Amino acid sequence: MPVATPSQYRDMLAKAKDGKYAFPAFNVTSTETANAVLLGLKEAKSDGIVQVSTGGAEFISGQGVKSMAKGAIALADYVHAMAASYEVTIALHTDHCAPKYLEGFVLPLIEETERRRKAGRPNLFNAHMFDGSELALEANVAKSVELLKRCAAVDIILEVETGVVGGEEDGHDTSGVPKDKLYTTPADMVAVHRALSPIGPYLLAATFGNVHGVYKPGNVQLKPTILRDGQAAIAAVFPGASAQLVFHGGSGSTLAEIHETLEYGVVKMNVDTDTQYAFTRAIADHMFKNYDGVLKVDGDVGNKKAYDPRNYLKKAEASMAARVKQACEDLRSAGKSVSAR
């Protein structure tokens, strides 16, 4: 199926919320990792999200270009081309764009979609994420309003964040922030909904102690009830209303914690660390088992079949695809694709 249209994606999110399941959003850094996501979603018969961060997009563009916007455009075009061959529905997101990266990342991508729309072409991305959590809430909301007005005009969903996701990702290190900043308040969620809901669809990454990366059990203190309380606060001010929520820093979470968040309106969960490991683990296994083939040891010639990148990258793709499938099962999206046959 082609990448979801704006209306198809809005419908996907609404069905996930009503059905208490979520779509996994997988950060990718190459065509190989994008292929792994597509394969895993196909095998799970699950719709899902291919996602690219600022650092991932710059990496995709290559060391000779190093452009976040160009890398993201190239990746999105590739996914548009490949997704048409898969019997699941794919959405495209950008991830964690701090205020300092807007001019080099999200804004050029919005401009690209505006150009494509004028030419009668589909949107490039379904959603963009603005991470204004480093700002005071008032400034975060004000910038989010500005961005959503522009996004809504071309049917793009804006994902925003209140509170801070701990840990480190793509050089953005928040490991030193005070612990109370790791928890969004009900008042924060009400303020975001009041400002954004009249403009257009939005996603809210409300934080409840989640941390990027994987930690041993007990090191991360998640409080999913924060999401429940925030939704209740929204409903108290806006009867019948609630937010569509995003679970960041989901790697390493227990299945019980994941399932609890689904009860409170989480419709998207980001997965990165676990799939990175699955991809690299297969390559490491190949290298250890074929050490004398991938290297020209003691003047020998090695084994071309062993050091041909296609050989070990196929294994990496299959290994990551298996982890993608597991994420779909964990989030209860497996078997629910609107287009799988």
The answer to the question of residue 62 being in a domain is yes
Give the active site residue among 47, 95, 131, 272.
95
Q: What is the model's pLDDT at position 221?
A: 73
The answer to the question of residue 17 being in a domain is yes
Q: How many CB atoms lie within 10 A of CB 341?
A: 5
Q: What is the model's pLDDT at position 163?
A: 75
DSSP per-residue letters across 246-311: EE-S-TT--HHHHHHHHHTTEEEEEE-HHHHHHHHHHHHHHHHHTHHHHS-GGG----HHHH-HHH
The answer to the question of residue 31 being in a domain is yes
Q: What is the model's pLDDT at position 254?
A: 84
The answer to the question of residue 239 being in a domain is yes
Q: In one letter, which amino acid is 277?
A: Y
Q: What is the model's pLDDT at position 216?
A: 52
Q: Is the dihedral of CA 227, 212, 331, 160 positive or negative?
A: positive
pLDDT above 90 as % of the chain? 83
The answer to the question of residue 287 being in a domain is no
The answer to the question of residue 288 being in a domain is no
Q: What is the model's pLDDT at position 213?
A: 52
Q: State the Cα–Cα distance between residues 151 and 41, nearest whole angstrom.
A: 27
The model carries a pTM of 0.92
Model confidence pLDDT, tens digit, residues 183-195: 899 999 999 999 9
The answer to the question of residue 276 being in a domain is yes
Q: State the Cα–Cα distance between residues 86 and 80, nearest whole angstrom.
A: 11
The answer to the question of residue 295 being in a domain is no
Count of structural domains within the chain: 1
Regions of the chain short of the pLDDT cut 50: 166-169, 171-178, 215, 217-218, 341
Q: Give the CATH number of the domain where residue 71 resides.
A: 3.20.20.70
Q: What is the model's pLDDT at position 340?
A: 54
Q: State the Cα–Cα distance between residues 63 and 113, nearest whole angstrom.
A: 25
Active site residue 95: yes
Per the structure block, which two tokens stand in for 42? 């196909």
Q: Which domain holds residue 100?
A: 6-282+320-330
Judge whether 159 and 266 are in contact, CB under 8 Å: no
Q: What is the model's pLDDT at position 168?
A: 47
DSSP per-residue letters across 118-135: HTTPPPS-SEEEE--TTS
